Amino acid sequence: MLTLGCARNEVDSEELAGRLSGGGWELVDLDDADPGDGAPDVIVVNTCGFVESAKKDSVDTLLAAADTGAKVVAVGCMAERYGAELADSLPEASAVLGFDHYPDLAERLGDIVAGHAIPSHTPVDRRTLLPITPVRRQEAAADVTVPGHAWGPTILRKRLDDAPVASLKIASGCDRRCSFCAIPSFRGSFVSRLPDEIVAEGAWLAGQGVRELVLVSENSTSYGKDLGRAHAGQGALEAVLTRLAGIPGIDRVRVSYLQPAETRPNLVRAIATTPNVADYFDMSFQHSSERVLRRMRRFGDTESFLALVRQIRDLAPAAGIRSNVIVGFPGETEADVDELARFLTEARLDAVGVFGYSDEDGTEAEKLDGKLDADTIDARVARISALVEELTAQRAEDRIGSEVVVLIERPESDDEDCAGRAAHQAPEVDGECVVLDSDEFDVAKFEVGDLVRCRVVDSAGVDLIVEPIEIVPRAAVESP
């Protein structure tokens, strides 16, 4: 099983791994597979279909998998989005299967190994599969395949690594209509998972050795809007956070994918002040020029975003705030870029991903006027990236002298330092904490999964250099 793309895809791969294991398949590590008994019969590639570079990575991975001699099956977002079109252009793949194949994937792989041809997935706009009215979706979702939503009392998930952090899906799909984004068309309308199901999976993950849960969805601030009065509506996410944070063995819960226009004061307060919830805000700003945001079919502006940042830091001065921004959007002017630079300078975010605009198939932005040439987009990406690098390094430097609690994810070795992440650092995207020996602790004795209180003694870009103060004991994990 090979996974590309975001944390949501990683969760989907573990769901598929659970289904395949339950269906009699054995998962093998491709790196350790030798010709003969260890070689895989099938390689399942969970593709990403978000942007052009991700699609290229997916195709390259499919081609490399085919070179092993195994049968190759494409699943995931790119397979769902393009289906038969992808199959026609990639004969190296034995099958291209969409989300509707997930419940029966074990049987379909058996058919493929037996030499039977499986008709390629035919894409549809998955927004049409659920009612327009959110409160009517829960019942209808029982008849629609939504990855990660049909587990019921059984946890159909198999961990593909032993990391002390795991993503936990709280919802799928999106009702927003951002003009640059095609995700709703192939992921479908927004639908929440039931709170009890989320908490049960969180407890299961704790039993698997997980100490940090990362809540993922396409839009976490919409959680609960389709659950009705029984689940507190607007306060549903806050309630789930409190329950997850109370699971024995779980020491940190992190929320990702927050929409600024939907982030209400009660949610800010819950994230900033609830014990065991990381004071971390993954805000999808995308830009700060009001004019550009309107063309993106988004809401907000520099002043409203700065007010939200102040609200967060009033409650939690050390909170981590990250975002992504798009530059070079059709019609963007130098004045718009200046406005974005002003916002970033005043906001002093902890981490920012900077992306140059590119057309996406079937989106409204693909047809907008005012397209910028590649050289202009590249120059603006370079300008904002240089500013972000300077600002985020300053923000990290400001943390020198403070204390952070670090989840150890990489032990010391001959080639690498011991390292982990503090509460303001999400996996893979926000830098790390490099842990040095102190008078009281030898970091060579730290193990993956240890939680260590540290003092920040230096910084390097967005990374922090820290020394241990004490090991934080882990609460006992309850038996299922």
Token pair, residue 397, equals: 């430097």
Hunting for tokens 């050795």 — which residue is that? 209
**Cα–Cα dist 159/15, whole Å:** 9
Look at the chain and count its residues: 480
The total of other beta-carbon atoms located within 10 Å of residue 474's CB is 17
**Cα–Cα dist 224/241, whole Å:** 12
Phi, psi of 316, rounded to the nearest 5 degrees:
-145, 85
Is residue 232 pLDDT above 60, yes or no?
A: no
Phi, psi of 162, rounded to the nearest 5 degrees:
-115, 30
Token pair, residue 386, equals: 């240089």
The total of other beta-carbon atoms located within 10 Å of residue 118's CB is 16
Task: Please report, in range form, the residues annotated as the binding site.
Answer: 6, 48, 77, 174, 178, 181
**Cα–Cα dist 308/320, whole Å:** 13
Average pLDDT over residues 227-237: 71
Percent of the residues in the chain that have a pLDDT greater than 70, as a whole number: 95
Is residue 434 pLDDT above 80, yes or no?
A: yes
Domains and CATH numbers, the chain: 2-123 (3.40.50.12160), 135-398 (3.80.30.20), 402-472 (2.40.50.140)
**Cα–Cα dist 200/157, whole Å:** 12
CB 251 within 8 A of CB 472: yes
Kindly give the interhelix angle for 334-347 and 374-397, rounded to the nearest 10 degrees: 10
pTM of the model: 0.93
Is residue 34 pLDDT above 90, yes or no?
A: no
CB 477 within 8 A of CB 249: yes
Characterize 364-394 residue by residue with b for buried, 16 or more Cβ atoms within 10 angstroms of its Cβ, and e for exposed. bbeebeebbeeeebebbbebbbebbeebbbe
> Which residue would you say has higher pLDDT here, 285 or 155?
285
231-234, Cβ contacts within 8 angstroms, sequence gap of 24 or more? 231/194, 231/195, 234/264, 234/266
**Cα–Cα dist 69/84, whole Å:** 22
CA angle 459, 462, 466 (to 5 degrees): 40
Chain centroid, CA 81 distance in Å: 19
Task: Please report, in range form, the residues annotated as the binding site for [4Fe-4S] cluster.
Answer: 6, 48, 77, 174, 178, 181
Confidence of residue 480 (pLDDT cuts 50, 70, 90): very low
pLDDT of 38 reads 60
Average pLDDT over residues 323-350: 98
Instruction: Convert the pLDDT of each residue in 73-132 to its tens digit.
Output: 999 999 999 999 999 999 999 999 999 999 999 999 999 999 999 998 899 999 999 999
Instruction: Convert the pLDDT of each residue in 58-78 to its tens digit.
Output: 899 999 988 888 999 999 999
* Three-class SS of 159-219: CCCCCCEEEEECEECCCCCCCCCCHHHHHCCCEECCHHHHHHHHHHHHHCCCCEEEEECCC
Is residue 169 pLDDT above 50, yes or no?
A: yes
CB 12 within 8 A of CB 156: no
User: CA dist 48 to 75, 203, 284, 330, Å?
Assistant: 9, 29, 20, 24
Q: 356 has which bridge partners? A: 327
User: CA dist 257 to 18, 171, 260, 303, Å?
Assistant: 26, 11, 10, 21
pLDDT, averaged across the chain: 92
Instruction: Convert the pLDDT of each residue in 13-28 to its tens digit.
Output: 999 999 999 999 999 8
CB 126 within 8 A of CB 81: no
CB 405 within 8 A of CB 451: yes
Token pair, residue 275, equals: 């014990």
Confidence of residue 55 (pLDDT cuts 50, 70, 90): confident
pLDDT of 150 reads 65
CA atoms within 13 A of residue 30's CA, in its CB half-sphere: 18
Chain centroid, CA 176 distance in Å: 18
